[in-house]
Every structure is written in structure tokens, then in C-alpha cells.
Structure 1
Amino acid sequence: MIEESLHKIQQRMADAMASVGRTDTALLVAVTKNHPVTAVEEVARLGCTHVGENRVQEAKEKQMLYTGPKLVWHLIGHLQVNKVRQAVPKFDLIHSVDSKKLLDEIEKVAAKHDKVQDILLQVNVAREASKSGMSVEDFPDIRDYAKTLPHVRVKGLMCMAPFFENPEDARPIFRVAHALYEDMKGYFPDGDIQYLSMGMTHDFEIALQEGANIVRVGTAIFGERVYN
């Protein structure tokens, strides 16, 4: 089931990009939250080596059990300041950085590990009270602050659209995020800003049409989540 679902998602991604004339590539992050480590091993076996987790503790447990090919681990859920100490050693890319306080803690912990931590800045374009992310107004200040930290490397931007019955309604939000992403490139060293992470199971095709190059898909690959 996972193999068939994964291939369908990859084909839909290719079709969405072709529909707007895109010839570049986009990265599929398989979101394994609330799925067992066997699901991680299965997608890795199928060649999908980018895995996303929402919670630090769940990722740590899976990493201890995982025995397959080397993976790139993405933290896509909200990161609390008190979890940074655990997150930095475990994740290759943290998508959900949204404050100077969080940046300061990541800088401190990464320095202790002699690591430069790759991050994305999460912007709450839709101004949803229930979602994390900085406001569009706060973005320039936090962006410029992040640039000053030697153990933090900003790689791009993350955006999460509200759930719309019609995914087409997310298009204006993705369009704003893409404009912010393109503008970011002028503030960082050439080549640093590489990733625009937006689009999930219900809206990833719209996100790809609007310039996303990372999509985060779980349910469409693994089925409904298993809650313990």
C-alpha cells in the first residue's frame, strides 16, 4: 500500500510542476508522525530518504530503532525552547523557527555541539491564531537577526496554509510566501536560501504550482495516523 501511494504522490507532484512549466525538482518529505518505525523503513527502502516528524521525542525513539539507509530528518512541528537541546543533535533541518528566543537557544545548543544548524523561518501568512509562525510584519527583523548567528544557517522559509475544503483557496497564501522566499535571497549569501517548504496532503499540488520545493505529505502516503 505504501509503495503504491508513494508512487502516486510522486506522479502527482510531477504533474503539478509540469502544469506550470517547472523543470526543477521538489523534495518530498514523508511525514511519519504517529506511524511506526516500520513505515519509516518502508519509505526509505523505496528511495524516499527525507522524513518529517512533528515531535522531538517521537523522532528520537524512531531514530533509536531505525536500521535502514541514512535519512535526512526534518522537524516540521512547533519547537518549544525547552526542547531545542534534544532537537539540535537529531534533526538536519528544522522548519519551524519563528522567534528570536528560539534562534538564541538553537545558536547556544548548536555551538555546544560544534554544529551549524540548518533552519527554515516559519511565517504565519494567513494569521491563524491556532498556528505557529511569525507574522509577515515581524519577518524582516527576525530574518536579519538570524543572519547574525554563526551556528544557525537559514535555508529558506516554511508556510502552512489553513485547511480549506477547496485547496485552490490556499493559492493566495502560497503566493505571498513565495514572494517572501524570493525576496530573502537578496539578504543571504548566494546559494544559502534553497527551500520553500509548503504544501501538505490536501494542498501540495497548489503549493508546487506556486513555487514550493519541499512538500510535507503523510496521510496520502501512509493512510490515517495511528494514535496511541
Structure 2
Amino acid sequence: MPCADTDLKRLQAVRERIAVAARRAGNSPEGITLVAVSKGVSYERLAAIAREGGQLDFGENYVQEAIPKINALADLALRWHFIGHLQRNKVRQLLGCCTLVQSLDSVRLAEEFEHRGGAEGVVTRVLLQVNLAREAGKHGLDETELRPCLEALAGMPHLEPMGLMLIPPLAASPAENRPLYRSLQKVSATLRELGYPLGHHLSMGMSDDFDLAVEEGATIVRVGTAVFGPRRYPLVGPGKEGP
């Protein structure tokens, strides 16, 4: 099993890069949430980095891996973010388990959260996943779908849209995605200026380019490999990494 000390050193290095990037942009590092993407990571490593490193925000991609982890580590009061594509038939399992669902990508998915949340009295905080690059085969709303989606969400009291999330295209160099990050910030600002019910959060930036995203206004970065190192997937349980 990878060494917890190594995880802690990598975590500190990521935090330092975030702080440098934030200050370079004239912002406070305290306003940025580091979500450690924990798919394929054992319960023990997560508990160690939470207890010893103070890392409380974790991101999961799969409901079937997230729920056992959330239950097993409930005593640590962690903040769980769901960041993967979510099918409507999995909403019931996830309801009430996450601090933030970052991958709301359709009105139909929103309607399922509203239906389930209304029945159980649960309000779900969400980010709208945006496919600004209009990549074929990638989930997310394109820019023209954002306003109709937000108009629909205005009538759903059991959903709270906290901001936008972007998964950028694979790029030859991290700098290639800077214009997309800048565009997402502008889209968010425009929607809020027009009075749409949308929070200020921008979830953008991953292991290869999170510091660039911070410079362009990210309030949340999703970092996996830079914290936990390379992993093999899929699912894990107590005491074991991915196969």
C-alpha cells in the first residue's frame, strides 16, 4: 500500500501551488476548496490524510464506490463531492450523502433530484456541468442550454445551484485550456448579473493544470493524481487499492 507520508507530502505541495496561484491572481487561498479525488483509494489512506493532513473534501466518481466509503468514514465528518456522470436511477442512493453534486448535466436529472428530494425533505446543492468545448461524447450542458436549465431550477426548491463545473478537453499542454477557464468565469458572471439563481463557485482544474484554473478564478479544484499518485481502478474496499 502506498505510504501515507507520501500522500501528505504531495498534499502539502498541492496546497502550496494553490496558494501561490491564488496570490498571483490577487485572491486569497482560503477561498479555494481542494477536492482530493479519491476513486481507487483505500479507506485507510483517506482516513490517514484526513486525520493527519486535515483534508476533509473528497471527490468520488461512482455511486457504488462512494456510498460504502461515505458510510465507512462517517465518524470523520468528511465533505463528499460527487464528480462523475450520474444516472437518474442512482439519485435515490446518493440523496443526502454529499455536500455537493458537481455533475448536474440535464434538466431531467434535476427533475429526479427534485422529485426524490421533495419526497424526503432533502435539498441538494449542485454545480451545473458545462461542456463549453462541445466535445462529442462528453457529458455536460452547452452554453445555450444553461439559461433554460437555470430557469427550470428556479422552480425546484429542493435543488440549490451553487455554480458551474467544467471538465476540459485533453490538451497537449495545460496552457491550452486557459481560455476555456477564462470563458467559464465570464459565463458565470454574465448569468449572475442577469439575475439567474446561480452561486459563484467555479469547479475547474485538475492535476495537470489546477494552478492555471486558480489563476482564472476557480473556487474549487479537483485533484487526484497529484495528491494520491497513479492509481488503478475500479472499486476499492477496506485495506485494498484498486486491482
The residue that corresponds to 2:84 in the other structure is 77
The residue that corresponds to 2:211 in the other structure is 205
Q: Per-residue CA shift, 1:156-182, capped at 9, x if unaligned? A: 010111121210000111111111111
Q: Per-residue CA shift, 1:170-218, capped at 9, x if unaligned? A: 01111111111112323246xx613110000011111111100000001
Return 5+ residue gaps in structure 1 as ranges: none
Distance apart, 1:220 and its partner CA: 0.5
The residue that corresponds to 1:19 in the other structure is 24
Return 5+ residue gaps in structure 2 as ranges: 1-5, 234-242
What is the total number of aligned residue pairs between the two structures?
A: 226
For the residue of structure 1 that corresponds to 2:164, the secondary structure is strand
Distance apart, 1:95 and its partner CA: 0.5
For the residue of structure 2 that corresponds to 1:183, the secondary structure is helix
TM-score under structure 1 normalisation? 0.94
1:119 aligns with 2:133: no
Distance in 1, matches of 2:12 and 2:57, equals: 15
Distance in 1, matches of 2:87 and 2:72, equals: 24
Pick from 109, 112, 115 the counterpart of residue 105 of structure 1: 112
Q: Report runs of 4+ in structure 1 exceeding 3 Å deviation.
A: none
Distance apart, 1:32 and its partner CA: 0.2
The residue that corresponds to 1:134 in the other structure is 141
Q: Per-residue CA shift, 1:32-82, capped at 9, x if unaligned? A: 011111122122111111110001110111122225521111000011111
Distance in 2, matches of 1:226 and 1:136, equals: 34
CA contact (8 A) 2:185 2:217 kept: yes
The residue that corresponds to 2:94 in the other structure is 87
Distance in 2, matches of 1:56 and 1:162, equals: 24
RMSD over equivalenced CA pairs, Å: 1.4
The residue that corresponds to 2:165 in the other structure is 158
CA contact (8 A) 2:70 2:80 kept: no
